Chains A and B, each alone.
Chain A
Amino acid sequence: MTAVTLDDRLGRSWQKPHLIANPALRWGLFIGALVYVVLAVGSIDINWSRVAEGLSRGWAFVTAFFNPDFVSRGGDIFDGIVESVIITITSTVVGIAISVPIGLGAARNIAPLPVYLVCRGIVALSRALNEIIVAILLVAIFGFGPLAGFLTLSFATIGFMSKLLAEDIEEMSKVQAEAIRATGSSWLQWINYGVQPQVMPRLIGLSMYRLDINFRESAVLGLVGAGGIGATLNTAFDRYEFDTAAAILLIIIVTVMALEYLSGIIRAKVQ
C-alpha cells in the first residue's frame, strides 16, 4: 500500500466504503434479491375484492375487542381455559422432569460420548418437529382429547429445556465442580453440590419461561383436536362470533402478561 498524501485526497469526492467490496458480487446480490422479491410478490395472488369485502369484517373484529362477549359461551370458554391450564401445568412439570436427565446427558463435559449422542438426538428431533404436527400425529394415535396435547407439549418442552440446560452446564465454572470432585464425592453428590447450585437459578427462570410458552401453545392445540381453548376459539371464528373470539384472545393475552410478570418476579428472586 502506498502512503496516501493529503493532496491525493483534497478536492476528490468521498464515499462511505461499501459493505461488500467486490462490485460484481454486490450488484449480483442486490439484483438477485430484487428479482426474488418481484417473483415472490408476483406469485401471491391477492383477491382484492375479497379483501375489501373482508375489511368490514375486520373492523367488526376490532370493535369486538372493545366489546368482548364473555357470557354467551361462558361455559365453553371456562372449560376450555381450565383444560388449557391443566395441559400447561402437567406438560411443564413432566417435560422438565424428563429434560433434567436428558439435559445432563446432552452436556459434553459431564456425559460419556454414547449418552451424549443419544440425548442430543432426542433434543434435535424434538426441536425440528413443529408442535402442531406432533399433535396431529398423537391425536391420530391416541384419539382426541387433552392427553394428546399433554404429550405434545411435554415432548416440545424436553427439546427446549434439555438444550438450554445442557448449554448452561457446558458453560459452568469448572473450578467449583472440580473442588467438589476433589473432596472425594460420588457422581450424584458431585452433580448435587458442584453442578446443581450453578445451573439452578437459570433452570428456574427457564421453567417459568417455558410455562408461558406452553400456555400459549396449548391455545392452538385444540385446532387439531388435542384439547384446550383452541377448539372453542376455532368454533367462534367459524361462526364469525368475533365478540366471543375477542373475549378468548383477551383472556389469553392477560394470562400471558400475568405469567410474564410473575416469572419476572421469580427470576429476580432466584438470581
Chain B
Amino acid sequence: MPVSTHVNGAKIWQLRNRNQTLSRWAGYLAAVAIFMWCWQRISEATTWFFVWDAPRIAADIGSRAWPPRWSYMDKLWGPLWDTLNMATLSTVLALFMAVPVAFLAARNTTPSALFVRPVALFIIVATRSINSLIWALLLVAIIGPGVFAGLMAIAFRSIGFCAKLLYEAIEEIDEKQVEAITATGASRWQVVAYGIVPQIMPAFAGISVFRWDINIRESTVLGLVGAGGIGLQLQSSLNTLAWPQVTLILIVILLAVIVGEWVSAKVRGAIM
C-alpha cells in the first residue's frame, strides 16, 4: 500500500503503486482486445440476415412444435429402455476399468511413481478430454451403429472421470489404518482389502451414482451420431422436420434427466 506525496504536500494513499496500476490496465486492455478480435471473427462467420430473422423463425418453429404429438410416445418406450441400459451398463463397465487405473494413479498405491503413474494419468486425461459424442463417433465408425457402440462410448468417457475422483479419494485415506494392518503381517492384497478399500467405499458409491446421473444425460444424445437410444428418434424427427415429435422427445429427455438427478441425489444422501 504505497503512500505518495502530492505536490502540495498532502499524502495520498493508493491500493497499488504506479507500475502495478499500469501493468494492470495493460492486462485489461489486452483482454478486451482479444475478446473484441474473437467477437469480430464470429461476426464475420455469421449471416446476420438469419440472426435478425431469428425471432420470426423461432416463433414459426414454436407454433409448429406445439402441441407435442403424444401418440408418438408408443414408439419411444423401446429407445428409452435402451437409453437407460446404456447409462447403467456403461457405468458398471467404466467402474470395472476405472478401479485398477485409480490404484495405479494414486501416489500411495502406485507400484511405480516413475513409470506406471504417468501412464495411468495419461489414460485419465485422454479419456476425460474426449467428449462421449466423439467416442461414439469413433466407435460407430469402428464397430458399427447401435446401442453397443453408445455403451462403449460412455464407458470410455467415464473411465477418466471415475478414476480421477477415485484416485483422489485413495490419496486422502488415513495412512495410520494402513500402517496398522501392515503391522499385523498382512500381505499386500490384504492390506488393500482391509486398510484401503473400506476407507474409499463411500467415495466409490458416491462417484458411481454421480456418474450414472451424468451418463443418463449423455446417453440421451448419443443417438445423434448413430449410437442408439432416444437420440436416434430425435435425429430422424429433426431430419423430417417433425417438430411436434421433437417437442415430445425433448420433454421425455428432460423428464428422464430430472428423474435421474432425483434418484442420484436420494441415493447419495442415503450414503453420506
* A and B touching (Cβ–Cβ under 8 A): yes
Q: A residues engaging B (CB < 8 A)?
A: 36-37, 40-41, 43-47, 50-51, 54-55, 57-58, 61, 82-83, 86-87, 89-90, 93, 128-130, 132-133, 136, 140-143, 145-147, 150, 216-217, 219-220, 223-224, 227, 230, 233-234, 237-238, 240, 245, 249, 252-253, 256-257, 260
Cβ A93 vs Cβ B35 within 8 A: yes
CB-defined contacts of A55 to chain B, threshold 8 Å: 142
Cβ A128 vs Cβ B258 within 8 A: yes
**SS class, residues of chain A in contact with chain B:** helix
Contacts A43-B82, A143-B50 given; does A54 touch B58 at CB 8 Å:
no
Cβ A142 vs Cβ B54 within 8 A: yes
How many residues on B have C-beta within 8 angstroms of the other chain's C-beta atoms? Answer: 53
- Interface pairs A-B: 4 shortest CB-CB: A256-B129, A143-B50, A54-B143, A40-B85
One of A87, A140, A240, A253 near B42 (C-beta < 8 A): A87
Q: How far apart are B119's CB and chain A's nearest CB, in angstroms? A: 14
Complex-state Cα separation, A216 to B42, whole angstroms: 18
**What 8 new A-B contacts, CB under 8 Å, besides A58-B143, A130-B217?**
A44-B147, A44-B148, A46-B148, A57-B142, A132-B224, A136-B238, A219-B131, A233-B134
Selected A-B contacts with CB under 8 Å, 12 pairs: A41-B89, A51-B144, A54-B144, A57-B142, A82-B41, A90-B42, A132-B133, A143-B50, A146-B42, A146-B45, A227-B45, A237-B141
A58 nearest CB neighbor, chain B only: B142
Cβ A43 vs Cβ B85 within 8 A: yes
Cβ A44 vs Cβ B134 within 8 A: no
Complex-state Cα separation, A149 to B54, whole angstroms: 15
Does B39 sit at the interface, judged by CB under 8 A? Answer: yes
**Per-position contact with A for B14-43: 1 when CB-CB < 8 Å, else 0?**
000000000000000000001100110110
